[in-house]
Structure 1
Amino acid sequence: MRVGVIDYGVGNLGSVVRALEVLRVSPVLVNRTSDMHATDCLILPGVGNFADCVRMLEAGHWIAALKEEVLGYNRPLLGVCVGMQLLADSSTEGAVNGEPVTGLGFVPGQVKHLAALGCQLRVPHAGWNAVSCGHTKDSLFNGIPAETDFYFVHSYAFQAQNVADVIATTDYGPTVTAAVRRGHVWGTQFHPEKSSKAGFKILKNFIEGPTC
């Protein structure tokens, strides 16, 4: 199993790769768009500012290549933290003259600041929070007990256009999207690679999922 970790210039690749090595799969740092096609599935990490991540994706010609792999070849994809937010249609983070920044559009929705969603707690949201999977548990959470804690660090949150695309939530004042899925595209707002055994189980479920 070759799991491609997309190296487009963000800084949290090492912890993702080490987590995959613990799971005894073959992580591949993908730093050329053409190398994605030699993988079984892909992980899109992300830290920092949404607009900055988009600029790095554009500079490396990743956007068109990702759309070809994910939509054209049905390559399974997992976005992590800002990587999940990049799956959205757009984000208000880094907006210029009120115009949202365009995302990949794999999961319809928009990313907004936690305060704009009614959060009155400390931002960024940093630390461990319990995650609820609702009534229908997605395969990504197989073997994970209800209300398990995962590690979050974020100031913005994903508002999905379709409620059915939200597979997990967490409570941080308002209900916040913790994970999404649309077809063979998943995303987690929390960091599975920093979430101990439960996070490693998330990665294992993605890798061993029915479409990966």
Structure 2
Amino acid sequence: MSDVAIVDYGINNVRSVRNAVDYCGFNPVVTHDAAVIADASHVILPGVGAFGDAMSNIRARGIDEILERQVREKAKPFLAICLGMQLLAKTSEEHADGNPPFEGLGWFDADILRLRPNDPALKIPHMGWNSVTKERDHPVLANMRDGNLAFYFVHSFAMRCDNAGDLVGWADYGQHVTAIVARDNIVATQFHPEKSQDSGIELVGNFLRWNP
């Protein structure tokens, strides 16, 4: 069985992602080694922490170049989670503090903006379970009923996706929150499937069986 590479860039908590992959019957390998990622069948980019720090670590370790080669050029199936999804955008205003926004990987025509729900009773961060409304079908949602699309979110920033064709699903938190985006061999979720019990495990399993 081929390995599943879980990208370690130094500040992300990968244990729950590793456990989810293992539970689905696949072999997780936590790594930032180019050769290991090249040999893996699938790649997962988790994310916890601040956008700027994450991008600094990714660039310092050359992970951006590894992912560009394996995911964008060789079309390896790729899942990005939470902050990992945000890193695929062009920019993020997180901690920019009036300075130019931090630059992301730029794989999606999107920017990361602070959540601004229209209900003052809604707290930031958006934390807890929320339902995802499917905008279009995608293999990671295969055989999942619309009523089962409830996932666990923890975030204060979210993606503004400027290409409507990339949007797979969204959540309502006093505003439309981009929840799933995808293009070609790349899929990303703002929520944490690895912390979303049965629905999340089903999504992870669908991803690991996906060969675009």
TM-score category of the 2 structures, normalised to the smaller one:
over 0.9
Distance 1:155 1:82 in 2: 10
Amino acid at match of 1:145: R
1:162-201 correspondence to structure 2 within 5 Å: 162-201=163-202
Structure 2 SS opposite 1:104: coil
Task: Give the partner amino acid of 2:115.
Answer: L
Q: For residue 142 of structure 1, what is the aligned residue in structure 2?
A: 142
How far apart, CA to CA, are the structure 2 residues paired with 1:74 and 1:165? 17
1:64-103, Cα deviation, whole Å (9 max, x unpaired): 1211111221112110000010111111113264311111
What is the aligned-residue RMSD (CA, Å)? 1.4
1:131 corresponds to which residue?
132
Give the aligned partner of residue 47 of structure 1: 48
Instruction: For residue 56 of structure 1, report the CA deviation from its aligned partner.
Output: 1.0
- 1:60–1:118 Cα change, 3 Å: farther
Q: How far is 1:182 from its partner?
A: 1.2
Hey, what does 1:69 align to over in structure 2? 70
Residue by residue over 1:98-136, the C-alpha shift from the partner in whole angstroms, topping out at 9 and shown as x without a partner, is 311111111211010002x756421000000011112x3
Deviations 1:30-56 (A, max 9, x none): 232332101011000111111111111
Unaligned ranges ≥5, structure 1: none
Letter in 1 for 2:155: H
Which residue matches 2:155?
154
User: Are positions 1:3 and 2:9 aligned together?
Assistant: no
Aligned-residue offset at 1:164: 1.1
CA contact (8 A) 1:111 1:159 kept: yes
Looking at structure 2, the residues matched to 145 and 12 of structure 1 have their Cα atoms a distance apart, in angstroms, of 29
8 Å CA contact retained: 1:6, 1:31: yes
How many residues of Structure 1 are paired with residues of Structure 2 in the alignment?
209
- Secondary structure of residue in 2 paired with 1:99: coil
**Aligned-residue offset at 1:10:** 2.3
Question: How far is the alpha carbon of 1:138 from its aligned partner?
Answer: 1.3
1:30 is matched by which residue type in structure 2?
T
- TM (normalized to structure 1)? 0.94
Q: Contact (CA 8 Å) 1:106, 1:182: kept in 2 or not? A: no
Tell me how far apart the structure 1 counterparts of residues 33 and 97 of structure 2 sit (CA, whole Å). 29
Three-state SS of the structure 1 residue aligned to 2:11 is coil
Partner of 2:21: 20
* Residues in 1 aligned to 2:140 and 2:43: alpha-carbon distance in whole angstroms: 15
